[in-house]
Structures are given as C-alpha cells and as structure tokens.
Structure 1
Amino acid sequence: MSRKLVRTVGLVGLGALIPILAGAATSTTDMSTYRELDQFMNVFERVRGEYVDKVDDKTLMKGAIDGMLASLDPHSNFLDARDFQNMKTQTDGNYGGLGLSVQLEDGAVKVVAATEDTPAARAGLKSGDFITHLDGVLIYGATLDDSVDKMRGRPGTQVKLTIVRPGRDKPFDVTLTREIITIKAVKWEVKKGVGIVNINTFLNRNTAESVRAALVSIDKATGGQPLGYIIDLRSNPGGLLDQAIDVSDAFLERGEIVSQRGREKGDIERYYAKPGDMAHGLPIIVLVDAGSASAAEIVAGALQDQHRAIVMGERSFGKGSVQTLLPLSEDTALRLTTARYYTPSGRSVQEGGIQPDLPVPQITDPDYKSRPRLREADLRKHLINEAKVDDKIIQDDEKTDPRFAATADQLKKQGIEDFQLDYAVNTLARLGGAVPAVKVAAAAPAPAKPAPKVVKAP
C-alpha cells in the first residue's frame, strides 16, 4: 500500500506524464485514483502557497494522513516518532504524567479512563469527564497532542484541571501533582477467603505471567483452600491480544477463547485453551464496567461463554476490533484495524459490549446515576456490529436487590468503599462455602502454559 502510494504520488507530481501512463495501461479505477491524487496535490499546493500563515510540508502531510485514517474508524491512526515512543513507553509500563487516558471529542478533551493508583484516579476523575482548562487556560480547540503535552511535566510539579462533569451543575477544579506513572499490570489480595486478581491493563507484556504468579500467591495465602476468585477488569482499557488469550487460558481447561476474522470470508483464526485450570475449577466472578474494553472484553466473553465465570457489574465498553501495528520506518508506524473478534459462541461485542450476568451498580460512586458512560457506540465512525444479539431471549426477573437502594454515605458508614467488589466477595463467599475447597501445591510458581493453539481457517 505505502509503496504504491509513493509511486502514484510521484507520478502525480509529474502531471504531464499521467495522460501517457493512463493511455498505456490503466483501468478506469486506476484513472479515478489518479484524478483523486491529482486533486489532493492541487489542494496541498494551494494551502502551501496561499494559507494565511506559513505551514511546513511535514505538518500538512501528517494532517492529510490523520484525516484519511480518521475517516475509517476511531482506532486506526498514524504514529509519528513521538506517538510511537509514547506507545512503547506505555507498553513497558512506566511513564510520566497524571495517569489519564483521554481523547478529543468535538474539540474538547474527554477522559476515557483514569488508571488506578495514579494522581488522576486518586482525585476521582472519571470516564466521561471533560477537561476544559489547564492552569486556567482554555484548551478547547487545541490539538490532543498539545493538551497532553501540557498535562505532562516534571514529577513533583502541579497542574490545575477544570472539569465539566455531566450531571453536575457547575465545573470544578482539581489540582494534581505530576509523578512517574508506573503501571502495575496485576495486583492481588485475599478477602474473606476469596482471591482477588485486579488486572489494570493488558498493554504490559508480562500481564499473563503476573496473573499466574498472583494465583500461586493466593493459593499460598489461603493454604491452598481459596473459596473462589474475582477477576477485576473494571476500567481496564485493554491492550495486547496475546496477553488476553494467555490470561483466559489460565482459567480454562479446554475450549475456544476467541476467534479473529479479517476482511475475507476465510480469513479466520481461532485460539484455544490448553489443559490446566489454575483456578482449580473453583467459582469465578469477573467484574466489568463501561471502562472494560477490548482485551478485557475478550477475557470476560471467553469465561462467560464457556460457563466458567459469572460476569458481574455494568455493560462493558464494546470494542470488538483488532488493531495491527504496521511499522513504516524505525520510528513511525501505522495502527490499522485489520479484524473483528468474536467470543466462543460467535458473539461480537462491537457496540454492544459484554452484558453482565448479574448487573450490579457502583452505588458507592455518588455520581453513578447521573454520570454518562462513554462507550464504543458513542465514538464517531465506529464499526457496525454485523452480528446483532437479540437480548429479548435473556430472562429478567425484574427484581432489584434491596441492597442497591443504599446510598454512598450509608455504605461509607459501613466501611464499604467499593460496593461492586464487596458484593462480589460476599457472593463468592456464599458460593464457595458450598463447594469443597481443592488442596493445591503452591510451593513454587506454576510453569507457563504453552501458547494456545491457533487454527487458520481454510
């Protein structure tokens, strides 16, 4: 694609040659493409020569590339040297800033997620918040790169963010202290005999290994007798496909994990679990919310479809597409949507997300009723779900748990700071009490399982 584009742009630059080449051996489609490229070069030259301010060629070309990719879907984009380095830094799990994932929406900076245990998360910033000012200066209309650059800075320095939160009458200010953000992909703890594995990201290449180590540690801490496990995927924006597959594999004995389907009908890859359930067949609850996306949805969908876990919480984000990183040079790359993924039952989570088996609101969040949830279906140019699911077949007993009526203040007095997690722990404690605990050897970390089997469709 890139070589062809370079070649055709070169020909367009030599305008006199196009008629000769077209007459020699070009189809009608080729001629149409040449005309469009000729139009592009005309616009490029006009802007370059007549725009009110002088603009360098590199800025114009990057703008053209960004515009082309933005016309496809929200997740395809060009990574210049700075973007490429930022992506690699985040993959390594250590970078400077506030711990915010943001995107540009109609000229405004919108919060996608606040990473756990970062300045942004500790200040209570939430998905759907809008950042309008930085240190009192309006940033509406600025580029996303400029806004992100202003939020970054030397660790220990402060920046004041003005926040507009839908559902609140007035904007409010939050002052954050910048720090080195070290993303710990996985954390674990034990409550009431229940092992909790909190997975914050799948961007880290060691996520699956850390999950396996956490399971071994939980077995040690419980004397080999956990009542069950909670996999907390809330506000997990996703990441690497192979990590999602390996994490799912840790909890499955057999069966399909996910399938990936490209442009052509036969372009299908299926990923299967290998024997060896590190959760020993014990009950599992997966927690999701509107911030659980992509790789997180692969894990939730696999365990839900394989009847290995109860999914609890709120409907997930709904990103059911796969992006491939295509290097263009040593320091630039193209992130392009190349496939859709499907859960083992053939469901696409695109737009609709993963519906929890047991909806549980986060009532310890005082804004949970009024705060809008940002999801894939809200993004412009999002891919259309080609495999709709009829939710009418899902039974609803129309009964609401009376505990959902409690207020945030009432729960705080009871010492409950995270209602969804507390609800899941208590549910598993009841379920686990009826299931005989399995004694396991946990003297040393379990060896990594072999890579899941991949089958290429004929």
Structure 2
Amino acid sequence: MKKSLLRTVGIACAISAAIVYLGQGPEVAAGPPKTDLGLVAGVMQLVQRDYVHPVTSSQLTDDALKGMLSRLDPHSSYMTEPEFRESVEDLNGKFGGVGLKISDRNGLPTVISPIDDTPAARAGVQPGDAIVSVDGQSTHGANLMEVVRKIRGKPETTVKLTIVRGGKSPFDVPLTRQVIKVHSVKSKLEPDNIGYVRISEFGQDTPNELRQAISTLKSDAGGKLAGLVLDLRNDPGGFLSSAVDVSGNFLNGGTVVSIRGRNSSDDRSFKAPETGALLPDTPMVVLVNGASASASEIVAGALQDRHRATVMGTQSFGKGSVQSIITIKGHGALRLTTALYYTPSGRSIQEDGITPDIVVQAPKDEQVANSMVRREDQLQGAFANPGPLTKSKVGSYGKHGSAETTSPPIKEQLIGTNQDAQLTAALNHLERPPAPNSTTAGASGSGAMPL
C-alpha cells in the first residue's frame, strides 16, 4: 500500500456507516475462531453458499471493507477503483453530470450545495434538499457512490430527481446532464475598488486561479485594491495543499496549519512563504457559514489567528480532521482519517468550527428554508474536540456555536449578488473600518451585526 494525496476531505465526502448483520448458521464451527480474519472468511463462505442469490467474493470483500471503514468516523471510507477515479475526477474539476455536491444524511443523499452555472443551480436545487429517488428508483439506504453514478451520465441526456425539501411533499426536478467544468474561483470588482473573490472548493487549480483573479482585480482597480472580501461560504473543502497555498497568498511566513496524528512522526507544520503575500497591506474580510468546512476552515482559522483578516458570517461546519488517501494496488483506495489539524494558535476546529469575529446572519428571506445541513458535531461517530495544543492558549472563540452564531446557510443563487446581505455587511465593514477606540464584536462572536 502506498500513501498519497494527503488532503482534507469536505463534507461532500462524508459517507454514513453501512450496517452489517452477521447471522450464525449451523455450519459455523463451535468455539471462538483462531483469528478475527477467520471469522470474516467463514461468514463470507457461508453467505456465498447459502444466500438466496449468488454473491461474488469480490462484492462481499468490497462491502466488508466499506462497512469496516465507514464505521470508524464520518470521513473514513473504502473506495473501489471506479469510485476512486471518480473522486480524483471531481477534485480535478471536470466530470459529466448535473452539478451537485451531495453527502449521506440519515440514509438519504442530501444536497450540500449546487455548483454555480450548472443544470442543478439553474433549476433551483438548494442545500439541504434530500434526493429520495433517481429516475423513480428509491435512494434510501443506497451507497452514495451508486447514487452519484445514477445521476451522472452522457451529456444531453435527462435524469429525474425526486426531492424532499423540509417537511413539504416530494417533487420532481428533471435535469439535462452536461459536462461540468468547475472553476473554483470567481471574482469581481465591487464599488470603491474593493475586490470580491469566491472560492467554491479547494481543487488542484484553486491557488493558480486565485492568483490570476487577484491580478485581474488589481489591474481593474488601477493597480491597488482598497479591500478584499474572500468568500468561503458553502465551500465544503478539498485539498490540504490548496488550503495552505491559498493562505500563503495572504501571509508572509509563519504557520498556516499544523497536523497531529497518532504517531509523532506524522506531525507536521505547514508554513507560508516568507514573501508570499499578494496583498500585504490590503484590509480583508473572510465570509464563512455553516456549510464552510475543512479546507475552508483552515484558511479562515489561519487568517483569523494571524490577525490578517476579519472573519464575518456564522459558525462554520467544524471538520478538523485530515484524511490520507492510501491506494491499494488493484483494489481502489482507503480514505482514512490519520490526523487532526490545528490553527496557528494551536486550537482545534474539530466539532467547534470557526466562530466569526463579527456575526452576520443571512436574513430569513435569504436563508435556505427548512435546511437539513448539519454541523460536524451532529454526524454519527464524529470526534469530540481534543482541546488546544497548549492549554494556556485557550481562546474565546466559542464552542459548538450558539443561537447567536449559527443559522441556516444563504441560498446558493444569492451568493455574491446585490441581494446578498452578508456580502453587503462585509463591504460596509471595509468601507468604514471601526475607529481605533471603538467597540466591536470580538472573536467570541457575542454580538450580531445589525443589517
């Protein structure tokens, strides 16, 4: 086995545990088996011989591995070879489908967010929508990757999703598939030469796309930006290396994130280049919400701890674990949780998330109604927060989120538009920064900005 692609995996890759029932028949030898592997092999033989339908040994092996890995925590899993290829394809930013990020929630595939400018986004699919059937076939209890395969297909063909939104009756959404090319960075110049950059996920090309976006914004602003809004809302994460590189575009030297595993030999600290900041003197706001996870939280936490940016919005998701992709020759790969990550000050984001410096909730009419999006601490088998690396560095960043710091996420189609109240608050903050002696909501997020 070979370790490769050390990365964080966003909430879109959280797969629920498979439930395996092991029935004991008369052919099982009396007394305890010599090894646990002997028990597994014996049960597999029993199933292959006596189950009502034929089952291949490879199918049983795959399912056994899936059950074993997915019972560990919400982010560990086994991927068959086709599933592994699809996972790499997703993060490379090009695949055929309808443009949805989904995860398993209580046995149902649930939308994390639609991808901008795709059939799903144009059809009005929203975060929290539960997909109860695909082309009339129920998805309840189905493997998430099987659901993904059913939704994907040849461009210009149609797939029908049946969706449940909150407590309302199911409704059908027909979608025409297309080649989905994901550009993870979008930008525009706002009034008063304030730049706006949105990162929708942390793929391999994200750091380069970000540098190009900043270069264009500076040129459009006549060579200098008066401020920058970095929007990480609804961003489920991606590559750890991309999160480090993106942070390094705003920091000159110093720690971005550190990871601590079971073995001290795996402990690492990732630092920004000594002269890597592209906008060293430009005021910044980072926007986050409950659907900002993993790599998004690494960036927000680094810029918050290093006092490089003001974090605004609502409490983030709280995924503070690192997954290693371990390939198995001829058999796909494991996605295995091997470490927890910590912000520059030594705090763990696991379970707690990032509490904004200034809490700005999306107005009710901009929120996803009856949202089913949950935070890390609500996932089955999620780790508890281990506490800070140095006990003396316990900060006032909040725990688990409170009613004042959490709220349903903003509707995807409103992000970055003139109707986006959270963005408006960020722009107002950059246009009118607080006076040196004025009082503002601090890192505890105890007060919400009026809108």
Q: Pick the TM interval, shorter chain.
A: 0.7 to 0.9
Q: CA deviation at 1:175?
A: 2.3
Matches within 5 A, 1:29-48: 34-48=34-48
Q: What are the within-5 Å matches in structure 2 for residues 112-127 of structure 1?
A: 112-127=112-127
- Whether contact under 8 Å (2:112, 2:373) holds in the other structure is no
Deviation at 1:144, TM superposition (A): 2.4
Distance 1:222 1:153 in 2: 42
CA distance in 2, matches of 1:53, 1:335: 30
CA contact (8 A) 1:238 1:294 kept: yes
Residue 445 (structure 2) pairs with residue 421 (structure 1): no
Deviations 1:93-112 (A, max 9, x none): 11011111222333322222
Query: Which amino acid in structure 1 is aligned with residue 130 of structure 2?
Result: F
- Shift of the alpha carbon at 1:349? 0.8
Q: Establish whether residue 225 from structure 1 lines up as the match of residue 227 from structure 2.
A: no
Shift in Å at residue 252 of structure 1?
Answer: 0.8
Partner of 2:432: helix, strand, or coil?
Answer: helix
**Are residue 93 (structure 1) and residue 93 (structure 2) matched?**
yes
Cα deviation, 1:293-314, whole Å, max 9, x if unaligned, reads 1111100000001111111112
One-letter amino acid matched to 2:78 = F
For residues 215 and 34 of structure 1, do their structure 2 counterparts lie closer, same or farther at Cα, with a shift above 3 Å needed?
farther
1:362 & 1:123 partners in 2: Cα distance?
A: 22
Q: State whether structure 2 residue 346 is matched by structure 1 residue 346.
A: yes
Gaps of 5+ in 2: 3-31, 437-451
2:355–2:397: 8 Å Cα contact kept in structure 1?
Answer: no
In 2, the alpha carbon distance for the partners of 1:392 and 1:197 equals 28
Match of 1:59, SS state, is helix
1:186 maps to amino acid = V
- Does the aligned pair in 1 maintain the 2:312–2:359 contact within 8 Å? yes
User: How far off is 1:344 after superposition?
Assistant: 0.7
Is residue 185–residue 210 contact of structure 1 (8 Å, CA) maintained in 2?
Answer: yes
2:80 & 2:251 partners in 1: Cα distance? 39
Q: Secondary structure at the match of 1:257?
A: strand
- Tell whether the 8 Å contact from 1:74 to 1:381 is kept in structure 2 after alignment: yes
Alignment-mate amino acid for residue 154 of structure 1: K
Tell me the alpha carbon deviations over residues 330-377 of structure 1, each in whole angstroms, 9 at most, x when there is no partner: 562222111110001111111111111112222275544642432222
Distance apart, 1:163 and its partner CA: 1.5
Which residue does the alignment assign to 1:13? none
- Matches of 1:272 and 1:216 in 2, distance apart? 23
Contact preservation (8 Å) 1:257, 1:344: yes
TM-score normalised by the chain length of structure 1: 0.78
Contact 2:322/2:337 (CA < 8 Å) preserved in 1?
yes
Distance 1:54 1:106, change over 3 A: farther
Within a 5 Å distance, the mapping from 1:283-362 to structure 2 comes to 283-329=283-329, 332-362=332-362
Please state which structure has a larger fraction of its residues in helix.
1
State the percentage of identical aligned residues. 41
Contact residue 284 and residue 310 of structure 2 kept, 8 A: yes
1:371 counterpart residue number: 371
- Specify the structure having the higher radius of gyration (Cα): 1
- Greater length-normalized contact order (CA 8 Å, ≥ 6 residues apart): 2
Q: Which amino acid aligns with 1:224?
A: G
Tell me, yes or no, if structure 1 residue 77 matches structure 2 residue 77: yes
**Could you tell which deviates more after superposition, 246-255 or 171-180?**
171-180
Shift of 1:259: 0.5
Which deviates more, 239-248 or 108-117? 108-117
Q: CA deviation at 1:34?
A: 4.4
Distance 1:321 1:141 in 2: 25
Q: Retained in 2: the 8 A contact 1:198–1:232?
A: yes
Seen in structure 2, the aligned counterparts of structure 1 residues 386 and 139 have a Cα distance that, compared at 3 Å, is same
Over 3 Å counting, the alpha-carbon distance change for 1:77 and 1:34 in structure 2 is farther
Structure 1: runs of 5+ lacking an equivalent? 3-31, 435-458
Counterparts of 1:210 and 1:199, CA distance in 2: 9
CA RMSD of aligned residues (A): 2.9
Amino acid corresponding to residue 198 of structure 1 in structure 2: R
Q: Which amino acid aligns with 1:120?
A: A
Contact 1:112–1:374, Cα closer than 8 Å, also in 2? no
What is residue 246 of structure 1 aligned with on the other side? 245
- CA distance, structure 2, for counterparts of residue 391 and residue 306 of structure 1: 13
SS in 1 for 2:154: coil
Partner of 1:275: 274
Partner SS, residue 218 of structure 2: helix
Residues 373/357 of structure 1: CA separation in 2 closer, same or farther (3 Å cut): farther
Give the match for residue 215 of structure 1: 214
Post-superposition offset of 1:287: 1.0
Conservation of the 8 A alpha-carbon contact between 1:248 and 1:302: yes
Contact 1:84 1:331 in 2 (8 A): no
Give secondary structure in 2 for the equivalent of 1:420.
helix
CA distance in 2, matches of 1:323, 1:243: 14
Q: CA deviation at 1:78?
A: 1.7
